[in-house]
Structure 1
Amino acid sequence: MRSIRFLCSVFVGCFLLVACDQSGPIKIGFIAGLSGPGSDAGTDALDALKLAAQQVNTDGGINGRMVEIIPRDDLKTPEVAQNHVRELKRLGVDAIVGPIISSIGMAMLPVINELGVVTISPTVSAADFAGFRDNLFRMNTTTRENARAYARRYIDQGYERVALALDGQNQAFADSWYREFLLELDALDGRVISKIWINTDNITHAEAAAQLLADDPDAIVLITNSTDSAMMAQEIRKLSSSIPLSVSEWAGSQALIEVGGEAVEGVELAQVYDHYDTNPRFQKFVAAFNEMFGRQPGYTAVLGYDAATVLFAALRTKHPDQSLADALTNLPPQQGLHQELVFDAFGDGNRNIYFVAIQDGKFIRVD
C-alpha cells in the first residue's frame, strides 16, 4: 500500500511539474559578445530582443505565458559560448537567440545540435553555415552574396587592385568573406594584392595600416569589427587622405562613426536595412527602441528584432506535438521591419542589402 501511495505521489508530482512548465515563463537564452571591442553589436541585438519581449508581455505574452530573457556574454571565446549553451539547456530555455559573430556560431553549432536547442542567429553569415539541416537558424544573407557585391561594386568603380585587413577574432567570417570576395574579384579581372590579419599577431593598427598601403592599392577593405575598423581608418587616414576605404557589413554599427570620427567620412559598406526608411513599422520600432534605451538602433538591433518576430510567431502557432525547429521551418512569411521573413528548408534566411556611405556622421544610402 505504501509503495502504491508513493508511486501515486510521484505521478502527481511529475504531473504538477509538467503543468508548471507549461504555464511558467517562456525562457529565451541570448548569447553574444557583450563586452570588449565590438560589443555594441551584441548589446544592440540583446536590447532589441528585450524590447520585443516587453511588447509581447504587455500584450499578454505568448499564449498567456510571459517571455523571460536570459542573457550571457560569450567574451568572443568559443569555449565560453559552448558552456553557456549547456547552462541554458539546464535552465530549460525554449530557444536561444545569438550569436553575433560566425566564429562563435561555428563553436556553438555542434553543442546546440547535440543538445537539441533551437538557436536563431540574427547575424552570422559565413557561407559554410548555409544548406544544412541543423538547429541553427539564420536571419542574415551569407558572405557569398555580400562579399561578391562588394567585389562587383569595386570593379564598377575602377578599383582593380585591392588590399584587405581581416580580423582573427572572427576567422570563420573573415575567411569566408575573403574567399567569396576573391573569387568574384578574380572573375572580373581584379586581384587582391595583399592581406593582413589583425587581432592574431602582435601587430598594431598603425603597422597594419602601413602594410596595407605599401603596395599602393586602388582601395582597401577592412573585414573587422566596428571598433577596430574605426581605429584602422584613423591610422590609414594619417598616411593617405584619399585612398578609397570600405568596411565589411559586420562593422556597420554606430560605434564605427562614434570612434572613427572624421576618419570614416566617405567610408562605404553594405547594410541590411535603410537607416532612414519611412515605413511606419520601422519608424515605430525606432521610436520604441530610442524611448527604451536612449539611442538609435543599429543593424544588429534590426536583425535581432526580426529574429524575435519569427521566434515568437513560431512559439505562438506551433502544435503541442510539433518541434520548434519544424514550426520555424514551416512558418508562413512574417512581416519584418523591412521585408518579409521566411526560412527555407535548411533554416536559412536571406536579406536585401544596400550600400551606404558615411556622410556627416550618418549612414546614407548610395546605390
Structure 2
Amino acid sequence: MNAPPSPLGAERTDASAAVLIGALVPLTRPGWAEAGRHLLAGLELAVREVNEAGGIVGRPLELVVRDTAADPRRAAAAVDELARLGVAALAGEYHSVVARVAAARADALGLPFLCSSAVLDTLTEHPTEYVARLAPAQSRGWRIYADFLLGAGHGRIAVAAESSVYWTSGARVLRDYLSPRGGSVVELDMRALAPTAVCDELADGHATALLLLVGHPEPAVSIVKAVRRDQRLAEIMIGAPAGQPEFAEWETSLGDDGAGIPFLLYLPERLGPLGARVETALRERLAEAPSFVAFEGYDTIVVLADVLRSHGTDRARTAESWPRVAVEGTRGQIRFSRVPGIGVWQWAWTPIQVVDRDPAEPGRFRILHTG
C-alpha cells in the first residue's frame, strides 16, 4: 500500500503512528516493471500479515512506495525524500545499477537499507553497517551457472552483452570461472550488432552456447527469435543467467521459442510450509505464478519486522542488528554475515537453481542444476 503524501521533513513520533518503510521498486519503463510488480506484491503481502498479527509492538507497518523506473538519479532522490519523511528503513529494488546508488546514498544518510533483489557484488564501494542484502551475490550465482555450463558440455561461450556495470561484472565472473577450466568467453557487443549480425557471428565462430547479457524485452526477445529461426544455429544453446525467462511476459512474447533457455532461480527445490502458504497467497494476489522476486519482497518485510520489534525504530540500532538476525523466511532461515569481497551484510546461503521452461510444457520449470 502507498502511504498518503506527508509534508517533507515530517517525523511520525506518536507511539500509535505507523512505522514507515520506504520501498524502492521499478514500476515503469525502462525499469523491468513486471519484476517490480512481483517485488511489490511480496512486500505488500508481508506488510498486511504483519499488521494482522499486531504490527510493530502495536503500531501499524506502512509502505511508502517510490517508483525508481531503473533510473539511478531518481532512486537517489527517492532515498533523500524517504529519509526526510522519517522512514525507519529502506526496502526493495531489483536493478543492480539502481540499488548501488541507493545503497551509497542510504549509507551516507545513516539509513538502514535491506536490498531485496539486486545481486551486484560491489553494491557499495566500501564496507557499510547500514546495508544488508537477501539476494545472492552475482559471483556466487553466476559461478553456479558456469558450473552448469561445463557440466552440460558447454565450454565455448558467446555472450551478447550490453554495456553496464552489471553485465560487465557478469561476463567477468563467467570468464574467471571458465578460463582455468579450459573454457572461453567471447563477447558480442550489442551496441554495434543487430540480432541478425549476432547470428552471423555465431555461425562463423565455435561457440556452443549464447548467453543473453541484455535487457528485457529488448533486445533479448529479438535475439532469441533470430537465433531460433537461423538453421545454421540449430545446435546452439541459448542461456539467460540473469533470469529473463522466469516471468510470464517472456512466455507471452516468445511462446515455444522461449523454452529450453536455462536461467538462475533463487528458490529451493521444495518450499517449506511457510513458503507454500505464501506462494498460494502471492498467486492469488498476482493472478499468476509468483516469481522468486515476489518471495524476496515478502522475506524483506519479514526480516525488517523482526528487527523493528526487537530493537525499535532507531536507525543506528537497526543497522547494528543485522548480524543478530535469525528469521525463518519463505526459502529457509535467514542470517546475515560478512562474505569476503562483499561490502554489505549478506544472506550467504540463498538457495540457487538453474532451471528452464520445459519445451513440452513451457509453463513448467525443469530443474537442471542445483548450487
* TM-score normalized by the length of structure 1: 0.86
CA distance in structure 1 between the partners assigned to 2:193 and 2:12 by the alignment: 57
Residue 163 of structure 1 aligns with which residue?
Answer: 158
Residue 186 of structure 1 aligns with which residue?
Answer: 179
2:228 aligned with 1:234: no
2:217 aligned counterpart, secondary structure:
helix
Residue 142 of structure 1 aligns with which residue?
Answer: 137
Residue 97 of structure 1 aligns with which residue?
Answer: 91
CA 18–160 in structure 1, closer or farther in 2 if over 3 Å, else same: closer
1:155 aligned counterpart, secondary structure:
helix
Residue 13 of structure 1 aligns with which residue?
Answer: none
Residue 353 of structure 1 aligns with which residue?
Answer: 352
Q: Where do residues 23-172 of structure 1 align in structure 2 (5 Å cutoff)?
A: 23-36=16-29, 38-129=32-123, 132-168=127-163, 171-172=164-165
CA distance in structure 2 between the partners assigned to 1:249 and 1:365 by the alignment: 16
CA distance in structure 2 between the partners assigned to 1:279 and 1:247 by the alignment: 27
Deviation, structure 1 residue 202: 6.8
CA distance in structure 2 between the partners assigned to 1:87 and 1:288 by the alignment: 32
CA distance in structure 1 between the partners assigned to 2:67 and 2:313 by the alignment: 32
- CA deviations 1:156-208 (Å, max 9, x no partner) are 2221211002243xx232122111110011011111133323xxx37544444
Deviation, structure 1 residue 19: 7.9
1:348 aligned counterpart, secondary structure:
strand
Q: CA RMSD in A?
A: 2.3
2:347 aligned counterpart, secondary structure:
coil
Residue 365 of structure 1 aligns with which residue?
Answer: 367
2:356 aligned counterpart, secondary structure:
strand
Deviation, structure 1 residue 298: 0.6
Deviation, structure 1 residue 36: 2.1
- Please tell me whether the aligned partners of residues 174 and 185 of structure 2 are also in contact (alpha carbons under 8 angstroms): no
Residue 255 of structure 1 aligns with which residue?
Answer: 249
CA distance in structure 2 between the partners assigned to 1:325 and 1:212 by the alignment: 49
- CA deviations 1:89-130 (Å, max 9, x no partner) are 111111111221111122223211111111111111112238
2:301 aligned to 308, 312, 328, which one?
Answer: 308
2:346 aligned counterpart, secondary structure:
coil
Deviation, structure 1 residue 59: 1.8
- Please tell me whether the aligned partners of residues 160 and 190 of structure 1 are also in contact (alpha carbons under 8 angstroms): yes
Q: Where do residues 257-296 of structure 1 align in structure 2 (5 Å cutoff)?
A: 257-274=251-268, 277=270, 279-296=272-289
The structure having more radius of gyration, on CA atoms, is 1
Q: Which amino acid aligns with 2:289?
A: Q
CA distance in structure 2 between the partners assigned to 1:320 and 1:107 by the alignment: 24
Q: Give percent identity, aligned residues only.
A: 22
- CA deviations 1:18-42 (Å, max 9, x no partner) are 8844431111111122112522111
Deviation, structure 1 residue 291: 2.1
Q: Which amino acid aligns with 1:138?
A: R
Residue 168 of structure 2 aligns with which residue?
Answer: 175
1:266 aligned counterpart, secondary structure:
coil
Residue 9 of structure 1 aligns with which residue?
Answer: none
* TM-score normalized by the length of structure 2: 0.85
Residue 8 of structure 1 aligns with which residue?
Answer: none
CA 225–364 in structure 1, closer or farther in 2 if over 3 Å, else same: farther
2:128 aligned counterpart, secondary structure:
coil
Q: How many residues end up aligned between the 2 structures?
A: 344
- Please tell me whether the aligned partners of residues 97 and 165 of structure 2 are also in contact (alpha carbons under 8 angstroms): yes
Q: Which amino acid aligns with 1:237?
A: R
- Please tell me whether the aligned partners of residues 193 and 215 of structure 1 are also in contact (alpha carbons under 8 angstroms): no
Q: Which amino acid aligns with 1:323?
A: R
* Alignment gaps of 5+ in structure 1: 1-16
